[in-house]
Structures are given as C-alpha cells and as structure tokens.
Amino acid sequence: MVRYLLRLLFRLHLAPNREQRYHAAKIMAANENAAKREIVRQSKSKQLKGRRNHVRNALRKQKWELEKKSKQNKLSNRQGDGYHKRIEYLQSVLGDLVRDDLEELALHDGLDANGYEQDEVAASIAQSGVSARRLASLQGVLKRALWNEPDLVLTDKLLAQYAIKLDLSINETFVLKKIHYVMKPFVLPDQPNYCHLNLLFFGNAVLRLCGYDQFTMLYAPHVSTGSLYSLSMDAASLFGMFGKPLEIKRDHGVKSAIDARHNKEKVFACLFDMNAIHDICKKNGIAFIYRLDISPANDVTMQGLIVKPRQVSMYEQRLKQAKPNLQPPSTQHTLDTLKTDISEAEKERNRMAKTNCDACNALMKHRRAMKDTDYAYHSEHMPPSLSQAHGKPAGPKDISNTPPTGREDEPSKKFADVKWSGS
C-alpha cells in the first residue's frame, strides 16, 4: 500500500503529464475496444515499433542520398525538390507513429509498471516531467524516511542524508516534505498489523479517487467454509480449547499446557474412548501418537507411528517337524541275480546291433540290384540311332542283358526279387 501511494503521489506532483497520458490512453483504449474488438496476433506496440523503425531508416536513406548527390553536383533542381518532398512526408509519418507509440506505452504505464520504455520514447518531448527512474529513486528515499524517522517534519539535513547521490531540485524537495508530512501520521513503524488500518483506509480512498480501484487492499481476509484447513488437536490444544483444568482424578487436575503434554493419555481419555482408538490403530498397523485431524467434512484422521511386526524364531517349529527317513529302499535282488541280468542285457544289446547292421547291408544290396535292373531295361529299349551314337552296332538284341521272361502273355518283370536275410 505504501509503495502504491508514494508512486501515485509522486506522479501527480512531479509528472502530471505522465498521469494524464495514462488516463487518456486508458479511456481511448476502452472506447476502441467497446466499438470494435480485433484479435491481434502480436502486440500493437511491436507493430508500431517496426513501422517506426522502417520509416526512420527510409528517412535516413533519403537524407544520405541527397547529401551525396549534392556534394557530387549530380542533382538537378527537379530531383532536389523530389528529395525534399519525400523527406517532409517521411518526417510527418514518423511523427504520427511516435505519437501512436507514446499513447500505446501510456496505456501500460500503471502503478505496477516502471515506465522506462516511455521515458526513452518521450525523451525529446518538452515538459514530459520527471522520468520513471527518477521517480523510483525519490520513492525509495521517502519510503526509508517514513519507516525510520519518528519526526513528523522532514528537515533538509535528514533529506540530504537519505538522498546523498541525488541532486534534488527545489520542486522535488518541496514535494518530498509535503508527502512526508501528510503520510507520516498513518505510518507506524514497529507496530502490529492492526495498527495499520488507518493507512489502509487512507490509501484505498486516494486510489479510488484517482481511478486505481484494482490496487486497493482488503481490511480483513475473506474466509469461506470451503477453504478452511483441518483442525489439528493434541493434548496442549485440547487444554487451550477448554481453557480450564481438566478433572482427570480428584486432586490430580491438568492445570497448564505443560502438564497436558506430560499426560497425553489422560487428557485424551477425558473426551475419547481410548480402547476404541487403540484398536483402530492396531488394525491399521500404527501406534497412536495422540494427534487428531478433523476435516471440514467431519472426517477424523488419527496419526501414529508404523509398528513393524516382531520377528519370531522358527527354530522350535523346525525341531517339532517330522524328520525324513534317510534309509535306502529294500530290494529283492542279490549279487548273482544282478550279474545274470547284466549279462542278458548285454546279449540283447549285441543282438539289436547285429540286426541293425544286417538290415543296412540288405538295404544296400537292394538299392544296387534296382540300379542294375533299371540300367539294363533302358539299354534294351534304346533306339538304334542312339545305340550307334553311343558306339554299339545295330544288330540283334543281346540276350545276356535281357531280363528273364516267362510266358508270352505275362508282362516282363522289371525289378529283381530281393530276399531279406535278417537274423
């Protein structure tokens, strides 16, 4: 509140043009928004700055070309008039853009802004008032004086001590003393918050009068039922809530918060059923530490320490368990019967190996016989031209290569009979 008040009063006394431009720009912006609402993709200040820089660069280029051609004597009267007209037009456009940029910056020059950008744009404008940086320095000087000096009147000596590096003018000194004299009765340093209510009343009235309703402050906080925190209760808070000794036993009352902290079980037992509380906590694996939280929804949360189950020795149970029988199972065989079984198994193994070997040999003989028979059959039915080409004379058939035949109506056997000699 003190910061807002000092900033506003300094602007009214030392920079009235800044305050006037801010309110004028605010009213103009409100009227424009009410008449026509446009969605601008980027801020208007950036657009104005880009256009202003573009016009400024074009103006500099025209001046540079005019000066260059004038020195080289390559400029006619007609060309000179054209350059001068273009320069005048660009200067007028640049002035309009600077004015629009100044109005846009004034719109954002509220009490919560520093306003340094506006100082840079309006540096060349006459009677612009004290700059924002100067106002911030003066504000810091007066703020320290309000909170540190008990006197109502601010003397020149005290002011010189606080403003060592500032060369104060006569008007600035007068304004500092005047604002200090007005605000000092409302500023009470080293006092609790309820002693600053008069400052809130005074500050809110001044801010509303100047059109800064958004910076006013509440005299007391708004508390709603939905924003209430949970009520935490322990032994000392229970004693403080009742405000009187709790009669636990005759002649053994809790007379202070210290006694309540040392007798937590007895204090809680006066209001709650401790057996039920301990049973609920035991089911959930915690030990009650005598602290409750009651939420606005009437839910009670009991706080406690996690109780780890104690490890039980399993040695006695292992001793009681039945021991396994480690004796080998009984058998009906003797050493002689085992030798007989081993010999018979070896004979069976040799017989199976011999059978496999004979089967493989018979299969090889059968394959060889089939190959020879198939070759003789193809040679017998080969045409004479092919047999001469292979070096054989065309003549009667070779009876030795002809397979045996039976009766004439019986078809000749193509494959030879193979007998399996397996043992």
Residue pLDDT tens, the chain, 423 long: 787 888 788 777 887 777 777 878 888 887 777 776 655 555 666 666 777 788 888 888 888 888 888 888 877 888 888 888 888 888 888 887 777 766 666 665 666 555 555 555 444 444 456 777 888 888 888 888 888 888 888 888 888 888 877 888 888 888 888 888 888 888 887 777 667 788 888 888 888 888 888 888 877 766 555 555 667 778 877 777 765 555 555 555 667 777 788 888 888 888 888 899 999 988 888 999 988 888 777 788 888 898 887 788 888 888 887 777 667 667 777 888 888 989 999 999 999 999 999 999 999 999 888 888 877 776 666 666 555 545 544 444 444 444 444 444 444 444 444 444 444
d(CA 76, CA 277): 106
Q: What six digits make up the tokens of 325?
A: 């029988």
Q: What six digits make up the tokens of 364?
A: 């090889």
Q: Measured between alpha carbons, how far is residue 102 from residues 21, 94, 107, 214 in Å?
A: 9, 12, 9, 23
Which of 23, 7, 4, 19 is CA-nearest to residue 129?
19
The position carrying tokens 């820089």 is 53
pLDDT at position 337, please?
Answer: 86
Residue 363: HSE in the Cβ half-sphere, 13 Å Cα cutoff: 6
- Which residues have CB under 8 Å from 366's CB, separation 6+? 418
Q: Measured between alpha carbons, how far is residue 11 from residues 109, 114, 145, 179, 259 in Å?
A: 11, 12, 19, 12, 60
Torsion of CA 18, 23, 28, 31, to 10 degrees: 170
The position carrying tokens 């198939």 is 374
pLDDT at position 350, please?
Answer: 94
| 3 state DSSP class of 247 | strand
pLDDT at position 167, please?
Answer: 81
Backbone dihedral angles phi then psi of residue 196, each to the nearest 5 degrees? -100, 15
Q: Please state the length of the chain.
A: 423
Sign of the Cα pseudo-torsion (275, 279, 280, 286, in order): positive
pLDDT at position 349, please?
Answer: 93
pLDDT at position 362, please?
Answer: 92
Q: Does this model's pTM top 0.85? A: no
DSSP code string of 255-321: -SHHHHHH-HHHHHHTTS-HHHHHHHHHHTTEEEEEEEEE-TTS-EEEEEEEPPPPPPP-HHHHHHS
d(CA 247, CA 267): 9
Task: Please state at what angle helix 132-148 crosses helix 2-14, rounded to 10 degrees.
Answer: 130
Say how many C-beta atoms besides its own lie within 10 A of residue 145's C-beta: 22
The position carrying tokens 């065309």 is 394
pLDDT at position 199, please?
Answer: 83
For residue 229, the one-letter residue type is Y
Domain boundaries, the chain: 1-14+130-222, 40-124, 227-306
Q: Measured between alpha carbons, how far is residue 66 from residues 54, 76, 85, 91, 416 in Å?
A: 19, 11, 12, 15, 123
Contact (Cβ atoms closer than 8 angstroms) between residue 121 and residue 30:
no
d(CA 416, CA 93): 120
Q: What six digits make up the tokens of 189?
A: 């340093």
